[in-house]
A and B are shown apart, each in its own frame.
Chain A
Amino acid sequence: MNDSSDIIVVGSGASGVHVAWPLVEAGLTVTMLDTGVRDEVYEPLVPARPYTEVRCADARQHRYLLGDNFEGIPLGQLGAGPQLTPPRQFVFRHAEALTPTRSPEFEAVESLALGGLAGAWGAVSFPYLDGELRQTGLPANQLRKHYETVARRIGVSGDRSDDLSRVRGPLEALQPPLLLDSHAEQILARYERKRDALHRAGCYVGQTLLAALTRDLGERKAHTYYDMDFWSNAGGSVYRPALSVKDLGRSANFRYRPSYLVETFAESSADAVRVRARSLASNRVEEFEARRLILAAGALGTTRIVLRSLGQYDVRVPLTSNPHSYIPCVHYRSLGRMPRERRHSLAQLTMVFDPTGDREHLVQSQLYSYGSLMLFRLLQELPLPYRESLRIMRALVPHMVIWVVQHEDRPSPDKYCALRRNREGTGDYLEVVYHLSPESQRTRRANEKRMAGFVRQLGCLPIRTVNTPDGSSIHYAGQFPATVADKPLSTTVNGRLRPTRTVYLADGSAFAYVPAKGLTLTLMANANRLGEHVAQALKPTGSAPAPS
């Protein structure tokens, strides 16, 4: 089969949909090849009612709270975290089998889902500072308008002018902030009283910018405060890339082709590239042709396709991933108050710590209230008999908050991935090696200690600091970093993969550095920028434009 279009985009995640958007708007024909795994089981089951009401009344709650295969009962492993509830687990389904990874300790998490990893995204949306963009290898002056475009497209809500605006990039296109829950209100009030001392120490707190609506946007509805965000997305108020795939599908020049796993590409001329993809329905390899190929399969997925297509087996390419930790705390200042039930369960507040005083090495933490994630998940953490742990946790959980801390990460020789051939001669796998240097580990520990100190000053008593396994932040990047120097297996500032002429990388694989901020919003903004760039290059059709 020979299938031809102007552009092939591989992947339907945060990068894929926003690189496709300007191309589709420019009238180019875009084919999106995607594995496209969906949740058809749980989403229709979860009632659009407040959490407490659901718990008291829904006889089918066990189906989505525990999962039909009880996948919501984690026995022993913390892994990528308790937020991966059964209705979110489709995001990771089949990935282990179809995109195999081997690693002694790194928890490589990938998605083959419609909407990609962002289907389980916490929706935290901070633009990078200029310094952070510089370290990432992205042009700050170009990117600012794309942040605004994307923020308008997906709907970001937050406070335009609180203290966090000093430690994040600017963003004008903001909906009004979501209502804070009672913990966050108290903690923020306490921060206000201690502001000067905390600022001197380099600590800034404010309301989290979230890709969640406070006003209706298109067909999507404003947030309902049902405290059901871990279980459902009533009214589509939290942004998911799958919503954009639906929007794109309204254009005649966009075709979404699910059930294809892209294996390789091959350039046939300066203006044509062929893509070989395995149909998951027939298990046959089919060919697709386009003038440009844009890979947005997620950093690890893209790495596989690139290294395989270029025959670069056993070559090490860099890998970065934000280390992250949980600091569960008892918010003792809330004792005696019953938390409000009307709340959202996304991040409430963000704390940014500037350990070096130059805003080049920020550490960031989000505040969550534990409430709607069920007691039983916490019980394994206490070395006590279950009968007593249950009663202790039941009393504590309404007063418990969790600070999720995230650190920057930059490439080093001890962090890499390499594509290896299977010994049997068929297929391959991605080997991932990730060792934080002793120095990075020291910095990480020291910064977490400082964070725990700030947390204490804000009225929270840290129980302990839980370091999650390497890789569990799921923020991977860095394999083909954007650089001005013309060397193979890197990207130009406009995302073209060297040494190819027609292949672009729109996902994190082109980020040379991951700041502590979380990269999803920047992935989308950068993808939109690349999309516009490629659209401009192809728009005056007729003669083959020179690649950038």
Chain B
Amino acid sequence: MSPIPITSTILVTGAGGFIGRSTVPSLLAHGYRVKAMVRRAGQAPFESHPRLAVVRADMRDADSLTAALQQVTAVVHLAAAKSDEKDSEDVNVGGARRLVEACQRAGCRRLINISTLSTKIARQGAYARTKSEADRMFRESGLAVTTLLPSVVYGEELDGVFGTIVKFVQQLPVVPVLGNGQWISAPVYMGDVCDAIIACLERDVTIGRTYDLGGADPVRFSTLIDKISGALGIRRRKIFIPFSVALAVAQVVTRLLPKPPITISNVLGSNQDVEIDIDPARRDFGFNPIDLDGGIRRVLGPQTPVAGAPPTGMDDAALGREARLFGRYLLGVGPSDELAARYAAANRALLAGELVGPEVAYALRHPSALPFLDAACALLNPASLLRKKILIMTAVLEASPAHTDFFLKPPPAPVAMLLGLAWQGIRAAAKVALGLPLYLVARRAK
């Protein structure tokens, strides 16, 4: 099949939703004719445009879909039930089946299916489970489908996870954080998502493939909150809500409310890290997302540092864990709280602006991998964040009377010393050998 010609008509399902509201104007600006599909007439907030038609249809109604698909060359499928509603199954899975059938009836072959990165997590809520099922159905439909899996999407319009954080920071005295805030996402700017959708429409190489859509900078949830607070010029304390508690709350409110503020999917989605690899998207359609700080500035205005607020990328809990991990690695004993705090301060002073690198994140998740990752980085990537952080910890430990015995230990007699050096050399070589493959794994586990 040839790329979608610019004069074609594109049907956008879920056009009134968060991503749809930006996708429709992008497609129009790009020259396409657009059918914006909404469930109710009041859902279409679009300015009138000679190439725009608003159509009413419902994913639960096959006939309405067939009608909407008349004279349509390609579909951008955004409609979804996201809040673990009772009809999630019907909208997401049933809707996918109806959409596929309607496409086949209408002779429309091309479909860009926007799903979610949380389809990759192991323990899934209703949203992720039904979207995974729908993705499978699209892949097996025989249509020319490209599936996109965006991470957290943010834009000028403050909605979604990002918008919720902004609201919380602006309105609440403390910001509730699910779990320990260590969850890693790669927030992706709305404009980049829209560009990706259009780029996929234009490139047949993307057919039959699934792409992660993340921003350029993976970031911990807790750090994302700090960055947003920083951009808003507001300093907020965070309270960390244990997952078990959050999950119980979500289970209750999902049963009680039609549109719950927190869903089981939210909790599960921010509990489990997924691999985000945007290299295929870069390669196949030139995906080139804006960096996070730039994106935040774009949507929230210029960042004005707040006196006293900690620089972004550095929260105490994460740095404390790093300090203990590195201290145990280097000396076999965990550092005192005072030294851990000093390590955190040194990170803020020396590494401000550097986000969690993949190796550091991997080492925190898999402490036993640290020696091997360190060995691999020493050879392959000596300037990596992991190496810098371990060096900082070494310096902090060395400049403390608590560890002088170790650092100023007199050298042994020559023979013992040579044996010792050889032993350390062998250990180092073995770690390098084991570390190289592990390093490649950790790098991929962005």
Contacts and interface: CB of A to CB of B under 8 A. Distances in A.
A binds B: yes
Interface size grouping (class) on chain A: 35 or more
Contact of A386 (B345, B349, B391, B399): B391
Given A70-B345, A388-B428, A376 B394 contact: yes
Nearest to A54: B401
B394 A379 contact: yes
B5 to A, nearest CB: 47
B431 A385 contact: yes
Interface in B421-442: 421, 424-425, 427-428, 431-432, 435
Given A380-B391, A385-B375, 10 more contacts: A70-B346, A70-B350, A73-B391, A75-B388, A338-B411, A379-B391, A384-B375, A386-B394, A389-B378, A391-B420
* A-B CB proximity, top 9 nearest: A385-B375, A62-B399, A65-B399, A388-B428, A376-B395, A335-B414, A385-B374, A70-B346, A384-B428
B399 A75 contact: no
Contacts, number: 119
10 contacts: A69-B349, A376-B391, A383-B382, A386-B330, A388-B428, A388-B431, A390-B394, A392-B425, A398-B410, A398-B411
A546 interface: no
B399 A383 contact: no
Contacts of B90: none
B357 interface: no
B396 A336 contact: no
A76 B383 contact: yes
Contacts of A387: 329-330, 371, 374
Contact of B408 (A52, A380, A383): A52
A55 interface: yes
Interface in A46-96: 52, 55-59, 61-62, 65-66, 69-70, 72-73, 75-76
Given A66-B396, A69-B349, A75-B350, A395 B417 contact: yes
Q: Which of B349, B399, B432 has most chain A Cβ within 10 Å?
A: B399
A384 B350 CA distance: 22
Contacts of A240: none
Q: SS class of chain B's interface: helix, strand, loop or mixed?
A: helix
A395 B398 contact: no
Contacts of B257: none
Contacts of B406: 394
A389 B429 CA distance: 12
A223 interface: no
B408 A55 contact: yes
Contacts of B421: 392, 395-396
A73 B346 contact: yes
B413 interface: yes
Q: Which of A384, A386, A391 has most chain B Cβ within 10 Å?
A: A386
A399 interface: yes
B392 to A, nearest CB: 6
B191 to A, nearest CB: 32
Contacts of B424: 388, 391-392
A178 B254 CA distance: 81
Interface in B336-353: 342, 345-346, 349-350
Contacts of B41: none
B413 A390 contact: no
A370 B167 CA distance: 56
B442 to A, nearest CB: 15
B383 A70 contact: no
A66 B399 contact: yes
A76 B346 CA distance: 15
Nearest to A52: B408
Contacts of A375: 394, 398, 407
Interface in A376-413: 376, 379-380, 382-392, 394-396, 398-399
Given A55-B401, A375-B398, A66 B346 contact: yes
A118 to B, nearest CB: 27
A395 B378 contact: no
A392 B428 CA distance: 10
A8 B404 CA distance: 50
A390 B401 contact: no
Given A56-B404, A73-B391, A387-B371, A336 B413 contact: yes
Contacts of A52: 408
B391 A75 contact: yes
A391 B330 CA distance: 9
A338 B407 CA distance: 15
A374 interface: yes
Contacts of B401: 55-59, 61
Contacts of B346: 66, 70, 73
Q: Which of A72, A379, A399 has most chain B Cβ within 10 Å?
A: A379
B412 interface: yes
Contacts of B387: 380, 386
